[in-house]
């Protein structure tokens, strides 16, 4: 009997080329999982993720699903996969779900975080998981900018897509900031995000915090949809996929 298996996993994306399998490359999260599932099931088993995290991006709550046709329990699947995964990838839970469940199409909201270490000297221990910004930042100006991104907009100008035949309209439900000493954790909640969108939005917010641009430029970019008018793309290592809600 065919079973639809839902997994929740976390990974350190530093040494991977992102989630999506690229040609023959197994140096992706999807590639690693599919190689293990082929050993487990005896045949190639496609894995669908809730989203395609980019090269160097991490995840604490990525969700994926795949179909199998054996009698293994959820516990046995969890144990088997984790016994073959490298130490920087771990499956946290395994559940059998309705055959119609699709990890990407059924997702209602995704939560990402981006962490900045705002201090003159970088953090030795968190340098792989936060972006070091030594410049003083105007947090009030950044909060005003964050509010401009909330709601439903065409985010083409804040993405690396170029032109797209598919809709580039997305809804950001909230952007919040948690400050803990020099650590600034920006939390993005939305129905989906375009290619590099969070990293470009974050770069734009940072430039406003540094006094290099004004908040009023945000609406002009929404209108003109020109990527070059937006801020720089922050590096991937500060970005985490935190959670996917269904």
User: Catalytic positions, please?
Assistant: 54
Q: How far apart are CA 42 and CA 80, in angstroms?
A: 14
95 Cβ neighbours under 8 A, 6+ residues apart = 5, 6, 7, 74
**Residue 15 Rama label (left phi>0; alpha psi -120 to 50; beta):** alpha
Query: Exposure pattern of 205-235 as b/e (b: 16+ CB <10 Å)?
Result: bbbbbbeebebebbeebbeebebebbbebbe
The answer to whether the CB of 56 falls within 8 A of the CB of 240 is: no
- Cα(236)–Cα(240) distance, integer angstroms: 9
Q: Other C-beta atoms within 10 Å of 68: how many? A: 18
d(CA 165, CA 57): 26
**CB-based burial of residue 153 (10 Å sphere; 0-12 exposed, 13-18 middle, 19+ buried)?**
buried
């Amino acid at each position: 009997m065919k079973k639809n298996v839902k997994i929740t996993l976390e990974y350190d994306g530093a040494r991977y080329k992102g989630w999506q399998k690229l040609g023959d490359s197994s140096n992706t999260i999807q590639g690693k999982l599919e190689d293990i599932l082929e050993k487990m099931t005896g045949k190639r088993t496609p894995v669908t993720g809730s989203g395609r995290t980019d090269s160097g991006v991490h995840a604490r709550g990525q969700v994926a699903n795949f179909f199998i046709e054996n009698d293994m329990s959820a516990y046995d699947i969890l144990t088997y996969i984790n016994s073959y995964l490298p130490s920087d990838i771990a499956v946290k839970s395994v559940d059998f779900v309705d055959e119609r469940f699709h990890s990407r199409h059924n997702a209602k909201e995704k939560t990402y975080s981006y962490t900045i270490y705002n201090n003159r000297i970088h953090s030795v221990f968190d340098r792989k998981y936060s972006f070091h910004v030594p410049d003083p930042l105007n947090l009030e100006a950044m909060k005003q900018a964050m509010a401009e991104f909330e709601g439903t907009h065409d985010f083409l100008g804040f993405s690396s897509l170029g032109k797209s035949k598919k809709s580039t309209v997305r809804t950001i439900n909230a952007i919040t900031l948690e400050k803990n000493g020099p650590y600034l954790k920006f939390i993005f909640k939305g129905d989906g995000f375009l290619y590099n969108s969070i990293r470009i939005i974050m770069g734009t917010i940072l430039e406003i915090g540094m006094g290099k641009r004004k908040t009023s430029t945000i609406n002009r970019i929404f209108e003109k949809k020109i990527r070059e008018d937006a801020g720089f793309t922050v590096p991937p290592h500060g970005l985490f996929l935190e959670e996917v809600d269904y």
